[in-house]
Amino acid sequence: MQRYFLQDMLDKQCIVFEDEHYHHIVRVMRMKVGDRVYVVLPDESTVVVELSEITESCVRTKWIEDVLISSEMPIQVTVALGIPKGDKLDWVVQKTTELGAFAIQPFESDWSVVKWDFKKKEKKKERLQKIAREAAEQSHRSHVPIVHDVLSFQKLLHTFSQYTHVLVAYEESAKTQEKQQFRQIISTLNPKDKVLIIFGSEGGLSDSEIKQLVDKQAILCGLGPRIMRAETAPMYVLAACSYELELR
Amino acid sequence: MQRYFLQDMLDKQCIVFEDEHYHHIVRVMRMKVGDRVYVVLPDESTVVVELSEITESCVRTKWIEDVLISSEMPIQVTVALGIPKGDKLDWVVQKTTELGAFAIQPFESDWSVVKWDFKKKEKKKERLQKIAREAAEQSHRSHVPIVHDVLSFQKLLHTFSQYTHVLVAYEESAKTQEKQQFRQIISTLNPKDKVLIIFGSEGGLSDSEIKQLVDKQAILCGLGPRIMRAETAPMYVLAACSYELELR
């Protein structure tokens, strides 16, 4: 069943689709009166509605039921990623949304090959947010991950107080046979914990960055014996969180 | 450190690089005498060698040490995937290799949108195998996942006897609140177990296919409350296997 996110809070008994949603329902999906869709309200509650009337400019609906089962991860995982090359950030936003990320926080790191074009930042952010929304619709989520503005590494450090746990995916930790840190932390998380997990870009994190992270009490974690690309490691972490917290 | 897979078994004391590897070492990486690389031998053992002489057509090396730490998953996971659209199979091969898959088995399913072009199959298989090899090099593996020939669904069923466990990633299982099956199985696997995990293409698996899988004792598993795209679910499974078996 198709799923639509509403920007404005409407009475769930009489939700009306216009503009973009109207176009999608009537022109793209060619739905008819009697068809049902999920609607996610701005408070992230989800309802099922049935199309009751289709006019030239809007679709009226009637409320059928509230959806009480949540598809959201019990913890909030924010993925902080050194800006990767090419369109990889698009891809990371899509995949981490499917896998349950709460937010995505790109940052500029010493070894990012790419420098962020701040002139185009509004346009880029808009596109990334659209990718997140579409992936959230597809994966039946009620929360659309927030794609934050790109931060400098120093500013990233200043966000740590917003989180209950700050972890760093660090290859060198895996090499030194440290393999239990990540699991020990993930397996003891509580619902509503806010976890920030930091990943380097393709070039990894510099020694200076690692030192500053450790000074700020971030915990270095190995993610197993294989070396993953920058864009793959966040998926490993989110899948592991889901396995640990949602499948038990 | 760069990693090269050798097709032929050579005396590890005097490994010589020619042709493609020579080109990569000398022209692409511009290495010098004294530089070191990993070499994975056909028996999947890994050694460190040092470049001792670079001629016009070959690089001679001397053995430095054996690498005794394995980067391979303790179990063998074969990912069976209904042929996906576009270049997604390339992508699945790359990512599942990074995440530790033992083999990839594409198959034709009722709802595959794409039909496999058997005329081009050798060329395609060659390309996929190259992607697997390159990803294995990058992720520091000693085993290059085997990309098997595409099978019909019926032939896939006949491979089940080769595995100790056959699982099916099934969205409907997640919807019915079945959430522990996958974890219960993964957490009780033993080293060397051979696990086949079957994923539908974008269209999922048909009711008839599910029935045949269940008749053959395959176990249906939910992978949490969110709906993942066809290409994302294999990554979830491999990351979960690694988390369960490699980080404890």
Compute the mean pLDDT over every residue in chain B, rounded to the nearest whole number.
92
Q: Residue A175: its pLDDT value, please?
A: 59
Compute the mean pLDDT over every residue in chain A, rounded to the nearest whole number.
92
Question: What percent of chain B is modeled with pLDDT above 70?
Answer: 98
Residue B36, exposed/middle/buried by CB under 10 A (0-12, 13-18, 19+)? Answer: middle
Strands (E), chain A: 3-5, 16-17, 36-40, 46-54, 59-67, 76-82, 103-108, 146-147, 151-152, 165-169, 194-199, 219-221
Residue in chain B nearest A227 by alpha carbon:
B139
Give the span between the Cα atoms of B196 and B228, in whole angstroms: 19
Q: In this predicted model, what pLDDT tens digit does every residue of A211-223 receive, in sequence order?
A: 999 999 999 999 9
Residue A177 has pLDDT above 60, yes or no: no
Cβ atoms of B132 and B145 closer than 8 Å: yes
**Complex ipTM:** 0.90
Q: Residue B12: its pLDDT value, please?
A: 87
A243 interface with B at CB cutoff 8 Å: yes
Give the span between the Cα atoms of B167 and B181, in whole angstroms: 10
Q: Residue A12: its pLDDT value, please?
A: 86
Q: Quickly state the pLDDT bin for B117 (edges 50, 70, 90).
A: confident
Cβ atoms of B46 and B142 closer than 8 Å: yes
Mapping DSSP onto H, E and C, the string for A60-122 reads EEEEEEEECCCCCCCCEEEEEEECCCCCHHHHHHHHHHHCCCCEEEEEECCCCCCCCCHHHHH
Give the span between the Cα atoms of B122 and A232, in whole angstroms: 28
CB contact under 8 A, A138 and B247: no
What is the pTM (predicted TM-score) of this model? 0.91
For residue A155, the distance in angstroms to the closest alpha carbon of chain B comes to 31
Residue B176 has pLDDT above 80, yes or no: no
Out of B141, B179, B228, closest to residue A98 by CB: B228
Q: Which residue has the higher pLDDT, B117 or B106?
A: B106
Which string of DSSP letters, residue by residue, matches B149-212?
PPEEHHHHHTTGGG-SEEEEE-HHHHHTT--SHHHHHHTT--TT-EEEEEE-BTTB--HHHHHH
B225 interface with A at CB cutoff 8 Å: yes
Q: Residue B157: its pLDDT value, please?
A: 97
Q: Quickly state the pLDDT bin for B112 (edges 50, 70, 90).
A: confident
For residue A87, the distance in angstroms to the closest alpha carbon of chain B comes to 14
Structural tokens at position A202: 């393709």
Q: In this predicted model, what pLDDT tens digit does every residue of A42-60 receive, in sequence order?
A: 999 999 999 999 999 999 9
**Helix, strand counts (H, E) of chain B:** 8, 12
Q: Residue A173: its pLDDT value, please?
A: 64
CB contact under 8 A, B226 and A70: no
